[in-house]
A = this chain, B = another copy of it.
Amino acid sequence: MTETAVQDRYPDAVSHCYGCGRLNPDGLHIRSFRDGDEAVCHFQPRPYHIAIPGFVYGGLIASLIDCHAMGTAAAAALAGAPADDESPRFVTASLKVDYLRPTPLGPLLELRGRVVELTARKAVVSVTVTVDGAVTARGEVVAVRMPDDWQPTA
């Protein structure tokens, strides 16, 4: 597993994401690390991330899958690049989550992402969410690469 999170290599101008931006002080700070052909993310839900008492909020699971899929796509696009290169940034075109069973609230969540299709313009990423050895949700995400000269318009 790499020691630098993919999100730590996003350019400053696009590092404010509520899910995974290191420059968003109110955000979730989701972090993705390359691990062989996959990318891995560990996340500890807060006690208030409740769906039904005892279980993790599905919108949080969707958020984790979304940001980790973008990180997985970026990690794949970075393969072979020098370690101090900035990362390309992907944005979400579509997100599909299947909630296979309730996700218990309390244990650390592990997400694993794998790129199943990669072109110059987009990546399709498959993600699993695992708790205590059981897969509780699966995601499939279509990520589109932002042009390198894109500038925020806010």
When all copies of this chain in the complex are counted, the total is 2
Q: Is the CB of B99 within 8 A of A50?
A: no
Q: Is the CB of B91 within 8 A of A52?
A: yes
A135 part of interface (Cβ distance < 8 Å) = no
Contacts of A95 in B (CB 8 A): 58, 62, 95-97, 99
Q: Is the CB of B105 within 8 A of A99?
A: no
From B24, B57, B96, A50 is in contact (CB under 8 Å) with: B24
Contacts of A35 in B (CB 8 A): none
Q: Which residues of A contact B (CB under 8 A)?
A: 13-14, 16-19, 21, 24-27, 46, 48-55, 57-60, 62-64, 66-67, 91-99, 102, 105, 146, 152-154
